[in-house]
């Protein structure tokens, strides 16, 4: 009932944000981004080797994680509707969000199939494992969900965009840039609805922000060998602690939500604010040490 009451107060803002999204987003078609001219070169029955791929193992890890995260949409839909169910505008948003995200999986998979950047057999087996497991982050409340989804959408946007930059392929860059642009619009929806929640229920939202920021992991929960892939992605400079601090935690939590300026907090929420600020500072320091090691090893 607490979630239902809070969500009801957020309905007017959610309606504004959905309208803004529909006015801002652009219709696009996956088939127009795929380099179909490579089609005649594809031999479906020929075993894949690393020589087929023009990208490093770390970039392949990024592409696999990015795609499998999109493939797991049915379970994100399930859990987001569980969190936001009963609110018409948010149920509509969840369906719209799922439809838009579905295009991402289509265009990335078509691109990977034609370029043979990743072994198609490995990719399909990984998809089967991921979707069969049905594992996704499981925020305990709607406010936790808003905090998590805000961070997740920006993290995904950054991962897609940075992957495109290191592909060294104009078609691949355009695919990932297009997907990242969608993710940015999704981020703006969740970020601004979370900001509204911070005004309506400051203490409860601050506690949620603390929990989700400190427990956040790069999207990819449930992917086989995810830790190995995450390390490879970090080594490529696609997503690491410094990026997480500079592109996610600091701009969203500190500058956009302005948690240091929030007033009328309970004692528990004050403690939560102190914890998350300390956590962001720790991530900054870890990121700096990580970057220094990478530079020394280069």
pLDDT in tens, 5-62: 899 999 999 999 999 999 999 999 999 999 999 888 888 888 998 888 889 999 999 9
Taking only the tens place, the pLDDT of each residue in 194-217 is: 999 999 999 999 999 999 999 997
pLDDT range class, residue 255, cuts 50, 70, 90 = very high
Rounded Cα distance between 2 and 162, Å, is 39
Name all domains of the chain by residue range, CATH numbers in brackets: 2-238 (1.10.620.20)
The candidate with the shortest Cα–Cα distance to 139, out of 148, 151, 128, is: 148
Query: What Å distances lie between residue 20 and 25, 119, 191, 280, CA to CA?
Result: 9, 40, 13, 31
pLDDT range class, residue 120, cuts 50, 70, 90 = very high
Rounded Cα distance between 19 and 229, Å, is 37
Between residues 43 and 261, the one the model is more confident about: 261
């Amino acid at each position: 009932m607490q979630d239902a009451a809070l969500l009801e107060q957020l309905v007017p803002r959610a309606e504004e944000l959905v309208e803004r999204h529909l006015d801002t987003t652009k219709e696009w078609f996956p088939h127009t981004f795929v380099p179909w001219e490579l089609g005649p070169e594809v031999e479906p029955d020929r075993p894949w080797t690393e020589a087929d791929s023009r990208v490093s193992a770390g970039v392949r890890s990024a592409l696999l994680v990015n795609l499998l995260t999109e493939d797991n949409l049915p379970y994100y839909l399930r859990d987001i509707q569980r969190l936001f169910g009963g609110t018409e505008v948010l149920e509509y948003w969840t369906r719209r969000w799922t439809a838009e995200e579905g295009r991402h999986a289509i265009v990335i998979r078509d691109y990977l199939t034609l370029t043979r950047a990743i072994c198609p057999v490995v990719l399909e087996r990984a998809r089967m494992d991921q979707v069969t497991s049905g594992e996704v982050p499981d925020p305990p409340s709607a406010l936790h969900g808003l905090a998590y989804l805000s961070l997740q959408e920006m993290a995904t946007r950054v991962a897609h965009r940075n992957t495109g930059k290191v592909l060294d392929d104009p078609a691949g860059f355009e695919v990932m840039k297009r997907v990242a642009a969608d993710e940015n619009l999704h981020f703006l929806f969740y970020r601004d609805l979370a900001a509204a929640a911070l005004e309506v229920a400051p203490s409860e939202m601050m506690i949620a922000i603390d929990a989700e920021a400190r427990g956040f992991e790069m999207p990819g929960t449930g992917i086989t060998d995810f830790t190995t892939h995450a390390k490879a992605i970090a080594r490529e400079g696609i997503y690491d602690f410094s990026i997480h601090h500079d592109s996610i935690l600091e701009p969203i939590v500190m500058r956009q939500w302005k948690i240091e300026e929030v007033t009328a907090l309970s004692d528990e929420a004050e403690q939560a604010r102190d914890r998350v600020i300390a956590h962001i500072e720790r991530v900054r320091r870890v990121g700096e040490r990580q970057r220094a090691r990478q530079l020394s090893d280069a």
